[in-house]
Chains A and B, each alone.
Chain A
């Protein structure tokens, strides 16, 4: 059985890697953007972004000063003799010094700065193993998280129209080119979780559901016609990809949630391999 100490050490490493290295698929997508952007200003933004990724990896320094909100998604199929959420909380506190993370947490009412980071843990049972996926989001994108409770008669066109409206409003504030996570169905809370979980999927992994794969492609094309461009300064690269997750919903409900991920696409994955916790990505 894995010890709490080993688990916690792995989570600290997971946070460090996710904060300092962008996933390979995101880098590739950004490099492709440099090749297709015609505007000098747009290309400059992308080149500076890629240069920043190189420097961050070399110096093992956080890609962005906003070390963000940390959302952990845990699947537990092992017997554990410790509390996973509590151990993750302790790991974040440790990471604050070791990575280091910026002290961004505040009391929500007094707004006084506090230590301990901003994190959440979602735990699901699994048949076997132990897996921790991590999503790191800056506040710029977090502030544009949306939940819509549409009417079931609205249809999928409503999803597209609403997404375009939100992106227009967000402009450069969400650090485009962004990744869009869409959660469709479930109850209100599930829809939001689905939209965040969608952001964990690699950009180069197609949705196994053909209908959704098609919708993802068409939403990516439509959103890139907005011409918001890198950092909102104009250009053809606004969205690196759209990822959709769904769940059954109530016949009278049509919940749709949007979560956005800023261009570095910070995320990570750790897993139990041969009895030991290992960081798989990035």
Chain B
């Protein structure tokens, strides 16, 4: 079991191997289609995300006056962001992606140079994921709609599997090779 406290360093990332179980405690940012496009079009991140963790997720959140309650928050399909993934990572300096289904082979091949690791959390396990969220710290770009905004979440012991490490091992394609 390995533990990550974002922001992370290259040293932290290089210790991770595909197949490892890792727990994340600290701040993570949700981002998906629309937030990706806005970052890439504007050429800058809305907040300092260097060394940060981006979770491909559009959470189900209920607002109680001033407080938000995260009801269900599993991952979304990461490969939808493939076309602009590299530019997004270069602009933001994000070093950890969490999602489901992995990224396309082209992006997977770029991850070692970008120093970015890809973690998997079971898709559809939304209530389980929500249980690891301690607090919604902030919502950025709420105008994109609740599923597409950037939710700044503080999580504790969020458990993921290292699916693509920066040493070239990829659980998604590893299976193909074994076949």
Interface residues of A (CB under 8 A from B): 40-41, 44-45, 48-49, 51-52, 55-56, 59, 61-67, 100-104, 106, 111-113, 138-140, 143, 171-175, 226-234, 262-264
Contacts and interface: CB of A to CB of B under 8 A. Distances in A.
A115 to B, nearest CB: 10
B45 interface: no
Contacts of A228: 175
Contact of B101 (A106, A173, A229, A264): A173
Contact of A65 (B73, B102, B120, B179): B73
Interface of A is mostly: loop
18 contacts: A48-B159, A56-B127, A61-B127, A62-B71, A63-B124, A65-B71, A65-B74, A66-B76, A102-B72, A103-B146, A111-B34, A139-B77, A226-B179, A227-B175, A227-B179, A234-B178, A262-B124, A263-B124
A199 B88 CA distance: 38
Contacts of A65: 57-60, 71-74, 126, 129-130
Size category of the B interface is 35 or more
A62 B126 contact: yes
A20 to B, nearest CB: 9
Interface of B: 19, 21, 34, 57-60, 62, 71-74, 76-77, 79, 100-102, 120, 122-131, 144-148, 159, 161, 163, 171-172, 174-175, 178-179
Task: Select the residue from B57, B60, B163, B179 with max chain A CB neighbours within 10 A.
Answer: B60
Interface of B is mostly: mixed
Given A41-B171, A65-B73, A233 B161 contact: yes
Contact of B122 (A59, A62, A143, A230): A230
A271 B54 CA distance: 44
Nearest to B62: A100
Contacts of A67: 60
A60 to B, nearest CB: 10
B21 to A, nearest CB: 7
Contact of A173 (B72, B73, B100, B127): B100
A143 B79 CA distance: 12
B146 A113 contact: yes
Given A62-B72, A100-B60, A231 B147 contact: no
A113 B73 contact: no
